[in-house]
Every structure is written in C-alpha cells, then in structure tokens.
Amino acid sequence: MAAMGTVVCLLGLLMLMQEVKGGQGLGNDGGDLWQEFLRLPTENGGTKWALLIAGSSGYDNYRHQADVCHAYQIMKKGGLKDQNIVVMMYDDIAYNPKNPRKGVIINKPNGGNVYAGVPKDYKGKDVNKNNFLAVLLGKKSALTGAGSGKVISSGPNDHVFVYYSDHGGPGVLSMPSGEGLYANELVQALKKKRAGGAFLNLVVYLEACESGSIFEGLLPSNIGVYAMTASNKTESSWATYCNTPGYTTCLGDLFSVAWMEDADPRRPGDRQTLAQLYTIVKKRTTSSQVKLYGDLRLASQPVSLYYLPPGPGITSTASGAILTDDEEGRRGGGVDQRDAGLVYLWREYYEEKSVEAWERILREMERRSRLDTSVDLIVGDLLSSKAQLLQVRAGQPLVDDWDCLKSMVRTFEAHCGPLGQYGMKHTRAFANMCNAALDHHHMAKAASKACTMHPPLITY
C-alpha cells in the first residue's frame, strides 16, 4: 500500500509539473515554481546558476559571442540545466553573410561548433543594461522587450556565476544597445542581491579593457562576491586567434579562452580551486594583468561549485588544455581589443582588395584621430595639465560622483558623437573632470567649441 501511495503521489506531482509547465492551474507564478523544481543542487545542497552576456554586436566582434557560446557549453558540461542558465547575445554572427561556416561559431582555429544548442534568452536590442540588471537581480517585472523571461531566481544557498565578454573603458562596460553599464550600477546590483539573500556566493569573470576599474575601490570584501578580471584598471584586454584562414575576425579573447580551455578537459569531480585557476589563467594571459577583487576567501573553493562538473573528488590536474604548436602560433600574443576592429578592416581589405574596403580603414582611422583630438582640446580647455587628465587613483573608485561621469559622457556625445568601442578609453579623462569639480555645463561649452572645429565622422 505504501508503494502504491508513492506511485500515486509521483503521478500527481508529474501532473502538477505538467500544469505548471503549461502555465495552467497555478496562476502567474507557475513558471517560477517549475523553475524552482528544476534547480540543480550544488555540493552543499544549493543550486548552480549562470548569467552569460556578450556586450557587443557585429561580425568584427565575433569573438565576444564566441566566448559566451563556449561558456554555455562549459556550463552544460558542468551539469547546469537550461532553466538555470541565462544567455544574452545579439545573435548576429552565426548566420552573418561574412561567416564562412553558416550556423557555426568557433572559439579557436579548427574548433567545434560552440553555437549548437545555445538558448538565446535575450538577443538583438533586448541585450541592454536594463535587462541585464533585471536578470541579475531576478526581477521579471523590470524586463523589457521579447526575451525568454528567464532571470537568476537564486536563493540563499545558491552559487551564481556571471560572465561578461566585450569592450569596456575606465568605469564602464559596453552594451550592444543603449547606454553602457557603469561600475557603480553593477556593484550596487551585487550588493542588493546579497542583501536580499539571493545567493550564498557569487563569482564574476570580466573580459573587457580596464576591467579592474569596475571593481577597484567599489566591491566589498565581505559580501561573498569574488571577481576575476582580464586586466587591471589602466590597461586593455586582448583578442586572440586573429589569424585563422577563412576568417577576417578574431575568434576569441585571451583571458576568456584561458579559463575556458582550462575547463574543457577537466573531468567530473576535479577539485581545482578558484585560486589554482587564477594562477593558470594569469600565466596564460600574457598581454594583460589578470586581477582579483572582492571576497578573496572564496579562492579556496572548488570551481565545481560554480560550473565544473560535480562528482567524486579527484586531485586537480596542474593545468587544463595543452595547445598544439599550430594553435599556439595562431593564438600569438593577441591584439589589443581596441585595435581588433582595425585588424578586421585590414583583413577585409586584404581579402577584397577594393577601394571601398580601403576607404573604410581610412574613415575609421580619421574618426579615431578626430575623437582623440576633440578630447585633447576639451581637456586643454578645462584641466590645468595633461597629468590631471591621466591621473589614476590608487585603491579608490574611478570617480566620486558617478552621476557626474554619466552626465559628462552624455554631454560629450551630444556634441561630438558616440564614443564607441574605441572612445570608451576616454572615460578616465571625464571622470577626472568630475573629480576636479567640473560639471556637464563646463563640458557642453568646451565640447561645443572643440567639435565644431573637428566634427565627428560616422564609423564603418
């Protein structure tokens, strides 16, 4: 009789699950209950969650979406269910006319198709700052657009992994649509999620130029958040695999492929710690300084709490994937993220040998020159010295007044055109203007004069 009762209960549960999945019988919260039931337990009884975002668009930025697709495959290998993974990517690469393998995205030369099976929860213009923060905070009501509606509905015993790959600048991360994500906005969201008891521990990997500036002086050391960045607060991160036959674009990013190609061969139960991974990634990321921020006590935790496959504990191998000589040669020292666009234009010209392709290179170089000149003129007008422009504050946030910085950027762009992926490097100059007690009124006057003399060009 007990066995019969168990069967009846299981059948009833399955019927209830089917109703929830179909959105019947349990009102508007049905989807949340279904997601709750499917949570994947971690080694301490909590659940693994992952938020993966590529913050760019365009075939020239192929590598960022390739990174995120590769990360998704690692999450799946690690046992995470799709219900616990949120992927945000523009999704204009796999079937791009310039992609030599339609429907296929690779993250290294001769690599497998990392695009296969990837759920595009938010794509196109739905990949923006508002939706990223809504997903991170688990706030479905704040979502806009036509995405899947999935959010990180994590609880107090859960482990959350966040991975971002794209362009950045001092204190800001790019988004393919709308305004960039500023450092204080990300850190405030992490604090808010912690205060709401929405995770036990959270790990962030950040691939972007000046990515250390997102956390330095801002991320507390006592809220269970551990961050690893591709670069420090003053240097670029680097693209890699930029010389692959048939491709005019870079396939990956140096920091990103370092951690992912280490994860690829690892077996279930590998007890590699976050500290061991940091040592490996730091050694392999040869063109920038990989940095750690936040709660460094988490460094002793196994990576399997977040995304490596669980299983019986085994001794961690010293390193992950070993590159072949051919792969190592194609990876090379990498290309500065901000120059990767020029490399792409040059490769396009080399393939086409057309006047139009050459003119695209010249236009982009002239646009960069005008942008740099405009900022120099504004700085000369507003700051007493170039040293003040380049001032780097040790151990402190980039700027005291983040609203001032945002206003400075908006005012500059209103007069001089968008900063774009290259021009984001100038946000430090704008931050130092704010730190010198200047405001957007000063910027408006100086920018109006500078950009009348040097009007902006539209990029390729």
The catalytic residue positions are: 167, 209
**DSSP symbol at 302:** B
b/e per residue, 367-393, with b = 16+ CB within 10 A? bbebbeebbbbbbeebbeeeeebeeeb
Q: How far is CA 345 from CA 45, 248, 379, 437, in A?
A: 50, 8, 30, 40
What gap in Å lies between CA 187 and CA 209, rounded to an integer?
18
Q: Could you tell me how far CA 159 lies from the centroid of its own chain?
A: 18
Query: What is the per-residue DSSP string for 76-92?
Result: HHTT--GGGEEEE----
Q: Which residue has the tokens 């349990």?
A: 26
**DSSP symbol at 314:** B
The total of other beta-carbon atoms located within 10 Å of residue 354's CB is 11
Q: How far is CA 353 from CA 90, 339, 346, 349, 360, in A?
A: 29, 20, 10, 5, 12
Whether the CA torsion 99, 102, 105, 110 is positive or negative: it is negative
How many Cα neighbours within 13 Å face the side chain of 347? 18
Alpha helices in 78-175 (DSSP H): 129-137
